[in-house]
Amino acid sequence: MRYLPKSPAERQEMLAAIGVKSVEELFSSIPDAYRLKKPLNLPGPYSEQEVIEYFKARAVENSEGYAHFLGAGVYNHLSSVVTDVIIQRGEFLTSYTPYQAEITQGTLQAIFEFQTLMCQLTGQEVANASMYDGSTATTEAVLMAERLTGRTRVLVARSVHPEYREVLRTYAKNSGLHVEEISYAAAGTLDVKALKAAIGPDVCAVVVQSPNFFGVIESPAVLAEIARSAGALLVVAIAEGVSLGAVMPPAEADIVAMEAQSFGLAPSYGGPYAGVVASKEKYVRQMPGRLAGQTTDHDGRRGFVLTLATREQHIRREKATSNICTNQALCALAATVHLTLLGKEGLREQAAQNLSKAHFALNELEKIPGVKRRFSGAFFNEFAVEFPKSVKMVNAELLREKIIGPFVLGSAYPELSKNALVCVTETTTREAIERFVSGVKRAIAELK
Amino acid sequence: MRGTMTEMIKKAGRQTNQNEGLIFEKSSPGKRAFELPPLDVPAVDPAKALGAAHRREGVEGFPEVSEIEVIRHFTRLSNWNYAIDLGMYPLGSCTMKYNPRVNEFVARLDGIATEHPYQPQDLSQGCLKILQLLETCLLEITGMDAITLQPAAGAQGELTGLLLIRAHHTKNGNPRKKVLIPDSAHGTNPATAVIAGYEVENIKSNAEGQVDLGHLRQQVTEDVAALMLTNPSTLGIFEQAIPQIAEVLHAKGALLYMDGANMNALAGVTRPGELGVDVMHLNLHKTFSTPHGGGGPGAGPVAMKKILEPYRPVPVLVGKEGGRLALDFNRKDTIGRVRAFVGNFGVLVRALAYILAYGPGIRQATEDAVVNANYIRKGLEGVYDLPYTRPSMHEVVFSDAIQKRNGVNTMDIAKRLIDYGFHPYTTAFPLIVPGALMIEPTESESKEELDLFIDAMKSIAKEAAEKPELVKTAPHTTRVSRLDEVGAARKPVLRWKSEEKRSEAAD
């Protein structure tokens, strides 16, 4: 086997050195009745070429050749080959969690740079080294708010990603949190009146997403004031990080939970991505997840270490701030390289292109009789539109033209059954937008 | 190298690496490393489209550098890391094995990396087939009945497993109160139990490092939801009585959770499903070789017996007529979602590529891993104290009892190992061994590398006896010497700030 570096003779030599006759003897502590007597029924062994062929055969069974207008928490953005070249360096790819700081300064400094970039983007003072994804980061942010306030009621906007809310409910169920949902207003933003009516002295967190699931930008400053008037914390989730190149960051939020997928991470059918929790410095001791900090060595040189580990499970066990013991280091590294490549000007330009293209697409769609935007609030690169026909049926027509249509909002919001969530990024060409719009037009006309 | 290299250091040579500041310190306005294609639609005015209140002009402090500077910056940083690609990484319980490059290649294929989780399932059959084949393989390896691939990592797998257990007990009328956890367990076990709403009760290991059956019988009551057991334990010892442990639990309606962190000792040799285990997680970044990447991403699938199957997180992969596969989101007894989308798909792809390369030969990997650990044990017995002498599986745990007499502890030995060209082993864990040296070589090490490691460890033991200061002040050959961790925690500096910002803050 090509991955195993031993000849048969060396195996025998080693068994002799150990003092056993056969490898079976080394497994003698497993009761005989429980030892497998036959080989596992697994496909393989495959050569490298066969492994590649298997996956290439699967790849063509997917959506190759289709244009798509899906966002809804996962975004197609440009990325540079440089990012992949860097993260495939064995020194990064095959290194462990940097507990031994003297020989992992590369990973540690990169995490420190990641934390800095995340603070700059979100307008927050501290950011962690990353967590699983946006959905779990949002839940961890709420658990953090619970620890900080000692309260257990959570008010979450219905315009937060439906799957983020599902994850929050799963975690809340057994940790004594009570989750209530607050509806949206005509603008597509959180219904402020409903929030004011629901908030009270038992609320630990108000959770919104911005841009929210409908693509509409919320006003964190206003919401923070309402939350604070009741002693609650404002948690802002961000699923589309590129928006921060054009939209004011939620600096007023107490905790930000961000999905970093938009920063150079491939959609990859749902993962791996990287979630981030960012917050105010005064809350840092209740932050979940790893943190890299700057320090000095015995000779006074600058260096970096994982710090404030007394929050973490390997020290605190059942009293830890979270049970999570990994970060998504390689994904965070990809985001760091990607954002460094983009730089200040690149991110600004990318965000501006998203904004222009999404507005262009909406304008074109609204030229179709009966198609109109559902919400009036400002949006970034995603918007909800109402079709005069079922979105599912329109999408079925579009598939014939090799277009994967927009997200069907009715699947998560029954009251929006005729609404589609259209996403357009800098990767969507004008030609694709025009083809999509004429496809929608044709579909609506034909679906009499 | 500050006069501390001895002729005994065979593996490590001198390495030149370069100094490199933070990327922010190299920034200069107007430089860029990435250019976008020109905009092909009319530009909108952001202030108009977003409204003045929402409009951001740019991200203050963001780096402005060129492409070559980015390449050099990160290449220089990479040179400061140790990695499996450079040599043995004997971290106990971490299973740092070779990460085959073909796995990286296939995870990046067009049609694999490019797929959106919300595209129609009929246009995702390739992805779903990958998931199905991985499920089938992992069920064959574990001997369990059903599986979920959704959990993002081992700790989330643990949580998922406990939520399944909780759902099962709740369905039977009472979620129960306690989860039993051996004192040798990894810290995630108790942290997870709390998040699942359970109290943690520790169970003591006996003198042989095994679960004490007599005590267990007394501790298992109708209040106990489950026992979380790592097998082989963190001592690298197989829990021989595991079928009896399962019986004791089952007699009271409690379930057996197995932490599969050490599955690299068992794959192809025995199947947890046949040992009485009800539910377990697998760390694909350990046993199934997906790269650690400096601390993630991983994946933590959870395999279970039939009784827990109805509670699996949604979506669940199901077969339809005509061989089509689909995701079922509508399951009435589900525990819900533990994360968005189907899971860390890219990691799952890599794990399947690994399994396909081995096929049934995965047993050979397990055997080699166990041979390697025992070879090290034999080589170092007597040189280092071996507190538990039952047969070792894939890892061996020594203690620093002998070296302590000269004031040298496990951390010092670990740091000195760096000078010899190795990554340290796991220090000070498991907690039941004071001053533990926990060594897991994995199957990826050749006899040559193992001999170098044994030599290095013997040489360090000699140094500890003769020149303890040399060991206590190690490492001597790294870019930075031991770092001030206490200072880092006392006054945390967690981000870079520009000079102006820092002086503002000081005022």
Q: Tens of pLDDT along B181-225?
A: 998 888 889 999 998 999 999 998 898 889 999 999 999 999 999
* B9-18, B198-207, B477-486: least confident range: B9-18
Q: What is the pLDDT of residue B6?
A: 63
3-state secondary structure of B438: strand
Distance CA B233, CA B214 (A): 18
Distance CA A355, CA A374 (A): 18
> Residue A175 to residues A153, A316, B110, B188: CA-CA distances in angstroms?
11, 18, 41, 17
The answer to whether the CB atoms of B341 and A109 lie below 8 A apart is: no
3-state secondary structure of A244: helix
Residue range B390-445, pLDDT digits in tens:
999 999 999 999 999 999 999 999 999 999 999 999 998 898 999 999 999 999 99
Backbone angles phi, psi at B69, to 5 degrees: -70, -35
B105-360 is a CATH 3.40.640.10 domain = yes
Where would I find the H helices in A267-423?
313-316, 329-366, 391-400
**Series of mean pLDDT values for 10-residue runs along chain A (448 residues):** 97 98 96 96 98 98 96 98 98 96 97 98 98 97 96 98 98 92 98 98 98 98 97 98 98 98 98 98 94 96 92 73 84 98 97 98 98 97 97 97 98 96 98 98 91
**DSSP element (H, E) containing A410:** none
What integer best gives the mean pLDDT of chain B? Answer: 95
Are A280 and A124 in contact by the 8 Å Cβ rule? The answer is yes
Task: Categorize the per-residue pLDDT at B4 as very low, low, confident or very high, splitting at 50, 70 and 90.
Answer: low
Beta strands A203-209 and A178-182: pairing type? Answer: unpaired
Backbone angles phi, psi at B242, to 5 degrees: -60, -40
Distance CA B189, CA A323 (A): 8
Distance CA B457, CA B445 (A): 16
Start-to-end CA distance of chain B, whole Å, equals 42
Q: What is the pLDDT of residue B1?
A: 44
Query: Does this complex have an ipTM over 0.90?
Result: yes
Distance CA B229, CA B249 (A): 12
Q: Which of B105, B391, B495 sits opposite A126 (nearest CB)?
A: B495
Q: What is the pLDDT of residue A319?
A: 76
The CATH 3.40.640.10 domain(s) of chain B lie at: 105-360
Task: With a cut of 90, say whether residue B33 has pLDDT above it.
Answer: yes
Q: Which of A45, A74, A106 sits opposite B359 (nearest CB)?
A: A45
Distance CA A15, CA A27 (A): 13
Which residues of chain B from 23 to 82 reach within 8 Å of chain A, CB to CB? 23-24, 27, 29-36, 39-44, 46, 49-51, 53-65, 67, 70-71, 73-75, 77-82
Q: What is the pLDDT of residue A309?
A: 83
Q: What is the pLDDT of residue A410?
A: 97
Residue range B249-261, pLDDT digits in tens:
999 999 999 999 9
Q: DSSP class of residue B480?
A: S
Give the residue from chain B lying closest to A392, CA to CA: B120
C-beta atoms surrounding B202 within 10 Å: 15
Q: What is the pLDDT of residue A344?
A: 96
Position of tokens 């650990």?
B373
> Residue A296 to residues B26, B316, B487, B489: CA-CA distances in angstroms?
21, 49, 8, 12
- High-pLDDT (> 90) share of chain B, %: 91
Task: Categorize the per-residue pLDDT at B507 as very low, low, confident or very high, splitting at 50, 70 and 90.
Answer: low
Task: Categorize the per-residue pLDDT at B76 as very low, low, confident or very high, splitting at 50, 70 and 90.
Answer: very high
Position of tokens 């799963």?
A170
The answer to whether the CB atoms of B296 and A17 lie below 8 A apart is: no
Q: What is the pLDDT of residue B2?
A: 47
Q: How far is B328 from chain A (nearest CA, A)?
A: 13
**Which domains, and CATH codes, for chain A?**
67-78+344-446 (3.90.1150.10), 81-338 (3.40.640.10)
Give the residue from chain A lying closest to B75, CA to CA: A86
The answer to whether the CB atoms of A68 and B271 lie below 8 A apart is: no
